[in-house]
């Protein structure tokens, strides 16, 4: 009676989970999300901002890019609930008579657009760089990581200012306006890719020693297949965390550059430009031009930082 | 059970973990005694709850987990309801603890000597020079050559076997009456394992100390334990004299486990095997947790939970063994 | 193929050393730092349907031998040949691929050996794709189902992810993947050391069963002689990078010659409880960076004499067919004929 001979199965009747949707709803990630009020709040805020940015033209009739749609006669109006405020301009107007609400919504668009694009650029380049460096190892790795180190020793704002400066000097005056955004995206991406490269590299160094990579090598798979199909999917977790937190950082960098006058031109105002414009009027009592975009920026950055922090904890197996 | 008062007596010890939306109970109502000078083995597969049972005694259950017990008494003194500070002084002074991985018990930044002397001074009213000479005595006792020089060594400078000896010395600092050794040999090579077991047994004999030896390895139990408690899915399913359990187990799981161990000298045919694997902690059962894999399970095994009952000189939680059919 | 006389796997005088500093020296080609000689002149042959087990303590080089045989490491000297073809001389994926198909591996860690982001079906199908062994998608999924059933899993498991399985089940998946390319030879590196005893028996039985049924050659790596007792035809005992004893399993279990083999047998706990007294051998495995002179086992050996501390004992084959590298044993048999 010691055993049932030759019974090969070692499965107690396991429930079969099927659809990906059910799998997500049952996943630890979703459970931990449901249990974290901070994560829900941050996620809600982020969704609100994304919707506001996407739906800006439908929320406000005024288009701040179109001089015909605003009137300098109503400049520097206070918010609607204050004396002298008008109902049409809920958050007041700026020095040119543009509705601050419209400005913020469109500014949100620019800020998030720059954030998404620059992080996407930094992530794609950094990921491939880190993947190759970590996977090939040896001298390739040494050289590639020294390049990254050199890049990292420049402060990000300085790098962005430098690129912006070079672009301004190199481009003819007419194209500065049109290429302003592209330069900004590129500048931020350049200052951020090393973070992605390093994170991916360190994950790759861990993953490539695992036995599933040995198994793939025993099948004589092409190194690129091992890199992209086996190793890359296992570095996604830390990458997502980094992307979320750095999205917030990228928006801040954009605001800083715009505030310093190196970013987007004042005709296409981002949150940073608005804060800068408002800054000139702050001491004349017109506080709303700076304060409302400022609050928006803080909430936006806060939401994505919180989201990133939660994601990092939720994906960290040691904290579970 | 025992005629004299046991050194440690555990009644209805349960360990549970609060999860997001439910409570996973990892150890259910474990009860056992450890007699003076006795080596009690707790054996089970990974996830059986053997380590949690032993760690619960000294209050080493990490936060989402909590302990419930009718009583845990150390020489008649209840210790299950002590605060964190008091249990910490029990641990170390009255009960020594040895972990699987010596590196978790040793601080890599301090020398062996620093750690031994500090532990001795914490628990005993000795001056540093006295503690130092005591540390040297302890190192000699656990078989470390050139103990004076070793005091200056850092943990990473020692081999795995030597480190485990140092951990044992640390556990002995305050002359505990009971040592809990959680898989003390698992991280070591086979030839070193035998040395460490021999050392533990010698210390037990010479100092009249009791040991709770937690392991997954029936071989270690057969070598070292006087009595053994077999755990399965969070419950003690069999307790008895080691010889009895190893040679003539009553519980079908214990029998299967013994049969599944490769032994040299058997006919070299197929190994006996238990089908399936142990249910994960948190799986709820109406009846016996082993019924799913059990070759002799009956209808009532699936509906009624078996209690730990006396069968001959052992305690067995099995309907079939209790009714004498499985024997 | 090269006719039936060539052994399926031949390993000839393999050497492998690893540099101690894992970092990169700033001066390429400069004096190499100290090395660990992981494998020091190991030779053996395994034929179709035979199972060889290499046994030794951690650091004896047994896993390195496994990786040299599979080609995951390149030997510093010596060669590995499959069916008489020296595969160590080959290079490039195109040349090596046909041999890769015939020699696959089951790994030690059931958690690290399966890509957690891949479904089980994709994992098992990978060798089929990699070696172009199926004509259509339907063929692939039929073969995957066949393999799942062969290792005792169900066809529905193909759609699940590795984390949904227990350690024993994962090891079955790993075995199914290794079998997918229809290999003739399977290297198993401690396939049960991460498993519980009751599950270990299932995996050992499965491997033995598959070996019999498919006529596989098997190289089995383990630290425990009892574990390999049921699966081996041949046994090699390794110590500090060298084979110290090699021979038929029944001979070695019946009459172990080398003192180290006896030590290993002695460390297996006595579950019969005959009250056999075990004299635990003193000492530990020496640092492989600076192994002792002479016989590497001499510091721990109860039979060590002067010659053992100066001269490396050669492999000597005894009348029973067992080869042993030990001065004391060679003396007893009054022979010094080299292997």
From the CA of B288, how many Å to the nearest CA of chain A?
Answer: 14
- Do β-strands B77-78 and B309-311 pair in parallel, antiparallel, or remain unpaired? unpaired
Average pLDDT of the residues in C184-209: 91
Residue A279 inside a domain? The answer is yes
Strand partners, B67: B15
Number of C-beta neighbours around residue C89 at 10 A: 10
How is chain C split into domains, by residue range? 9-20+34-333
Residue B93 CB-density burial (10 A; 0-12 exposed, 13-18 middle, 19+ buried)? middle
Minimal Cα distance from A208: which residue of C? Answer: C112
Q: Which of A215-229, A258-272, C58-72, C250-264 has the lowest mean pLDDT?
A: A258-272
Minimal Cα distance from C177: which residue of A? Answer: A215
Minimal Cα distance from C132: which residue of A? Answer: A219
Average pLDDT of the residues in A52-58: 84
Tokens of B86: 């008091």
Residue with tokens 């070193």: B192
Q: Which of A50-59, C10-19, C27-36 has the lowest mean pLDDT?
A: C27-36
Number of C-beta neighbours around residue C119 at 10 A: 15
pLDDT in tens, chain B (327 residues): 445 788 999 999 999 988 767 788 889 889 999 999 899 999 998 888 999 999 999 888 887 888 889 999 998 889 888 888 888 888 888 999 998 887 778 888 999 999 999 989 988 888 899 999 999 999 988 888 888 888 898 988 888 888 999 999 999 888 899 999 999 888 888 778 888 888 899 888 888 899 999 999 888 898 889 999 999 999 999 999 999 998 888 899 999 988 888 888 777 777 888 888 888 877 877 889 898 888 888 888 888 888 888 877 788 999 888 886 444
- Mutate which of B194, B253, B279 to test chain C, going by most C C-beta atoms within 10 A? B194
CA distance B259 to A81: 83
Residues on chain B touching A8 (C-beta within 8 angstroms): 275
**Residue C92 or residue C215, greater confidence:** C215
- C 272-301 residues with CB < 8 A to B: 272-273, 278, 280-282, 284-285
- Output the pLDDT for position A12: 37
- Output the pLDDT for position C326: 92
Residue A133 inside a domain? The answer is yes
- Output the pLDDT for position C287: 76
Say yes or no for a CB contact (<8 Å) between A219 and C93: no
Which CATH topology does C9-20+34-333 take? Answer: Rossmann fold (3.40.50)
For residue B150, give the nearest of B137, B195, B125, C300 by alpha carbon: B137
Tokens of C231: 């699966």
- Output the pLDDT for position A10: 38
- At residue C32, the 3 state secondary structure works out as coil
**CB-CB: which of B21, B258, B275 is closest to A7?**
B275
Residue A44 inside a domain? The answer is no
- At residue C243, the 3 state secondary structure works out as strand
Task: Find all residues with CB under 8 Å of B276, minimum gap 6, and list them.
Answer: A9, A10, A11, A12, B292, B293
- What does the mean pLDDT of chain A come to? 80
Task: Please give the share of chain A, as a percent, with pLDDT higher than 70.
Answer: 87
Say yes or no for a CB contact (<8 Å) between A218 and C168: no
State pLDDT tens for residues A139-163.
999 999 999 999 888 887 788 788 8
Residues on chain A touching C131 (C-beta within 8 angstroms): 219
- Output the pLDDT for position A200: 94
Task: Please give the share of chain C, as a percent, with pLDDT higher than 70.
Answer: 90
CA distance A318 to B220: 31
From the CA of C193, how many Å to the nearest CA of chain B?
Answer: 11
The phi-psi region of residue B312 (left if phi > 0; otherwise alpha if psi is between -120 and 50; otherwise beta) is left
- Output the pLDDT for position A90: 75
Confidence label for A214 from pLDDT (cuts 50, 70 and 90): very high
Instruction: Please provide the distance, in angstroms rounded to a whole number, between the alpha carbons at the two ends of chain B.
Output: 22
Q: Which of B75-79, B208-212, C26-30, C133-137 has the lowest mean pLDDT?
A: C26-30
Average pLDDT of the residues in C165-172: 92
Residue C107 CB-density burial (10 A; 0-12 exposed, 13-18 middle, 19+ buried)? buried
**Residue C195 or residue A33, greater confidence:** C195
Task: Find all residues with CB under 8 Å of C157, minimum gap 6, and list them.
Answer: C120, C148, C165, C169, C173
From the CA of B71, how many Å to the nearest CA of chain C?
Answer: 32
CA distances from A90 to A55, A101, A289, B205, C309 (A): 17, 7, 12, 86, 94
CATH classification at residue A149? 1.10.3720.10
- Do β-strands C217-222 and B178-182 pair in parallel, antiparallel, or remain unpaired? unpaired
- Output the pLDDT for position C22: 54
From the CA of A303, how many Å to the nearest CA of chain B?
Answer: 24
Task: Find all residues with CB under 8 Å of A94, minimum gap 6, and list them.
Answer: A75, A76, A100, A103, A274, A277, A278, A289
Residues on chain B touching A7 (C-beta within 8 angstroms): 273, 275
Average pLDDT of the residues in C299-310: 88
State pLDDT tens for residues C69-101.
999 999 999 999 998 889 888 888 888 888 889
**CB-CB: which of B20, B255, B275 is closest to A1?**
B255
Say yes or no for a CB contact (<8 Å) between C117 and A233: yes
pLDDT at A128 over 60: yes
For residue C297, give the nearest of B183, C270, C288, A18 by alpha carbon: C288
pLDDT at C1 over 60: no
Residue A80 inside a domain? The answer is no
Can you give the residue range of the structural domain that contains A156?
110-319
Tokens of B50: 């053997």
For chain A, the domain total comes to 1
Cβ(B102)–Cβ(B160) below 8 Å: yes
- Output the pLDDT for position A318: 47
Give whichever of B177-186, C1-10, C84-93, C169-178 has the largest mean pLDDT: C169-178
The phi-psi region of residue B76 (left if phi > 0; otherwise alpha if psi is between -120 and 50; otherwise beta) is left
For residue B38, give the nearest of B196, B200, B226 by alpha carbon: B226
Say yes or no for a CB contact (<8 Å) between C226 and B261: yes
- Output the pLDDT for position A7: 33
Cβ(B41)–Cβ(B70) below 8 Å: no
**CB-CB: which of C96, C109, C116 is closest to A220?**
C96
- Mutate which of B275, B278, B294 to test chain A, going by most A C-beta atoms within 10 A? B275
Neighbours of chain C (3+ CB pairs under 8 A): A, B
For residues C50, C51, C56, C59, the Cα torsion angle rounded to the nearest 10 degrees is 90
Does the beta carbon of B216 lie under 8 angstroms from any beta carbon of chain C? yes
Tokens of C100: 């890769």
Helix-strand-coil split of chain A, %, nearest 5: 75, 0, 25
For residue C181, give the nearest of B320, B271, A219 by alpha carbon: A219
Residue A67 inside a domain? The answer is no
Say yes or no for a CB contact (<8 Å) between C270 and B194: no
Maximum Cα–Cα distance for chain C, whole Å?
68
Residue A2 inside a domain? The answer is no
Minimal Cα distance from B275: which residue of A? Answer: A10
- Output the pLDDT for position A22: 56
Helix (H) or strand (E) holding B18: strand B8-18
């Amino acid at each position: 009676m010691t055993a049932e001979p030759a019974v090969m199965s070692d499965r107690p009747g396991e429930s079969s989970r099927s659809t990906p949707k059910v799998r997500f709803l049952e996943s630890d990630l979703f459970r931990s999300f449901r249990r974290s009020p901070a994560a829900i709040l941050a996620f809600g805020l982020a969704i609100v901002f994304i919707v506001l940015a996407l739906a800006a033209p439908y929320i406000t009739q005024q288009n701040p890019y179109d001089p015909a749609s605003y009137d300098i006669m109503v400049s520097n109006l206070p918010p609607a609930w204050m004396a002298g405020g008008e109902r049409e301009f809920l958050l007041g107007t700026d020095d040119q008579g543009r509705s601050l609400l419209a400005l913020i919504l469109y500014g949100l668009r620019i800020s998030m657009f720059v954030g998404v694009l620059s992080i996407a650029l930094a992530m794609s380049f950094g990921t491939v760089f880190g993947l190759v460096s970590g996977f090939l190892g040896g001298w390739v790795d040494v050289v590639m990581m020294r390049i990254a180190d050199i890049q990292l020793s420049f402060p990000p704002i300085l790098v962005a200012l430098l690129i912006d400066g070079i672009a301004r000097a190199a481009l003819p005056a007419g194209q500065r306006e049109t290429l302003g955004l592209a330069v900004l995206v590129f500048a931020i991406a350049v200052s951020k890719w090393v973070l992605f490269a390093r994170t991916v590299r360190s994950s790759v160094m861990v993953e490539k020693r695992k036995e599933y990579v040995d198994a793939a090598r025993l099948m004589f798979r092409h190194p690129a297949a091992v890199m992209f199909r086996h190793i890359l999917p296992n570095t996604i977790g830390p990458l997502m965390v980094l992307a979320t937190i750095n999205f917030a950082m990228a928006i801040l960098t954009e605001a800083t550059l715009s505030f310093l006058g190196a970013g987007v031109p004042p005709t296409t105002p981002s949150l940073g430009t608005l804060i800068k414009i408002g800054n000139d009027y702050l001491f004349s009592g017109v506080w709303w031009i700076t304060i409302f975009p400022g609050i928006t920026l803080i909430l936006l950055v806060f939401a994505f930082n919180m989201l990133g922090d939660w994601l990092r904890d939720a994906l960290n197996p040691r904290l579970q | 059970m025992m005629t004299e008062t046991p050194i440690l007596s555990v009644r209805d010890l349960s360990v549970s973990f609060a999860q997001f939306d439910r409570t996973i109970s990892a150890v259910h109502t474990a009860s056992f005694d450890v007699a003076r000078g006795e080596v009690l083995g707790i054996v089970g597969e990974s996830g059986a709850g053997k380590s949690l049972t032993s760690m619960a005694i000294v209050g080493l259950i990490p936060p989402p987990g909590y302990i419930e017990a009718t009583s845990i008494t150390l020489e008649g003194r209840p210790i299950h309801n002590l605060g964190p500070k008091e249990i910490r002084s029990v641990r170390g002074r009255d009960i020594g603890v040895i972990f699987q991985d010596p590196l978790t018990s040793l601080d890599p930044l301090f020398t062996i000597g620093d750690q031994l002397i500090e532990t001795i001074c914490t628990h005993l009213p000795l001056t540093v020079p006295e503690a130092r000479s005591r540390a040297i005595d302890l190192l000699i006792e656990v078989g470390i050559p050139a103990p004076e020089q070793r005091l200056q060594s850092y943990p990473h400078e020692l081999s795995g076997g030597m480190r485990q000896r140092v951990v044992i010395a640390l556990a002995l600092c305050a002359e505990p009456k009971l040592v809990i050794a959680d898989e003390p040999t698992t991280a070591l090579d086979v030839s070193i394992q035998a040395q460490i077991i021999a050392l533990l047994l010698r210390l037990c004999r010479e100092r009249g100390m009791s040991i709770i030896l937690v392991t997954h390895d029936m071989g270690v139990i057969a070598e070292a334990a006087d009595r053994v408690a077999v755990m399965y899915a969070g419950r003690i399913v069999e307790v008895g004299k080691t010889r009895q359990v190893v040679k003539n187990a009553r519980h079908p799981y214990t029998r299967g486990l013994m049969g599944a161990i490769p032994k040299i000298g058997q006919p070299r045919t197929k190994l006996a095997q238990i089908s399936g694997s142990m249910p994960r902690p948190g799986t709820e059962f109406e009846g016996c947790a082993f019924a799913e894999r059990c070759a002799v399970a009956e209808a009532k095994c699936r509906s009624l939970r078996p209690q730990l009952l006396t069968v001959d000189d052992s305690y067995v939680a099995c309907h079939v063994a209790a009714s004498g059919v499985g024997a | 193929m090269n006719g039936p006389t060539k052994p399926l796997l031949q390993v000839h005088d393999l050497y492998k050393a690893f540099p101690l500093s894992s970092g990169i020296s700033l001066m390429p080609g400069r004096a190499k730092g100290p090395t660990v000689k992981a494998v020091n002149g190991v030779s053996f042959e395994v034929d179709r349907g035979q199972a060889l087990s290499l046994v030794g303590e951690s650091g004896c080089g047994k896993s390195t031998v496994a990786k040299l045989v599979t080609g995951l490491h390149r030997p510093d000297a010596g060669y590995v040949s499959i069916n008489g073809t020296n595969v160590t001389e080959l290079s490039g994926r195109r040349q090596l691929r046909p041999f890769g198909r015939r020699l696959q591996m089951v790994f030690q860690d059931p958690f690290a050996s399966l890509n957690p982001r891949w479904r089980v079906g994709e994992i098992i199908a990978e060798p089929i794709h990699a070696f172009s062994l199926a004509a259509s998608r339907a063929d692939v999924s039929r073969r995957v189902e066949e393999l799942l059933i062969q290792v005792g899993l169900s066809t529905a498991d193909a759609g699940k992810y590795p984390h949904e399985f227990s350690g024993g089940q994962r090891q079955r998946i790993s075995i199914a993947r290794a079998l997918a390319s229809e290999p003739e030879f399977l290297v198993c590196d401690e396939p049960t050391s991460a498993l519980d005893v009751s599950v270990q028996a299932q995996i050992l039985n499965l491997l033995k069963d598959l070996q019999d049924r498919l006529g596989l050659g098997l190289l089995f790596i383990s630290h425990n002689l009892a574990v390999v007792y049921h699966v081996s035809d041949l046994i090699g005992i390794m110590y500090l990078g060298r084979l110290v004893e090699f021979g038929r399993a029944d001979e070695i279990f019946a009459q172990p010659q080398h003192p180290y083999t006896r030590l290993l047998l002695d460390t297996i706990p006595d579950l019969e409880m005959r009250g056999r007294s075990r004299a635990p051998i003193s000492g530990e495995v020496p640092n492989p960076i600076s192994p002792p002179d002479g016989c590497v086992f001499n510091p721990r050996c109860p039979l060590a004499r002067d010659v053992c501390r100066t001269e490396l004992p050669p492999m000597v084959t005894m009348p029973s067919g067992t080869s042993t590298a030990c001065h004391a044993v060679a003396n007893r048999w009054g022979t010094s004929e080299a292997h």
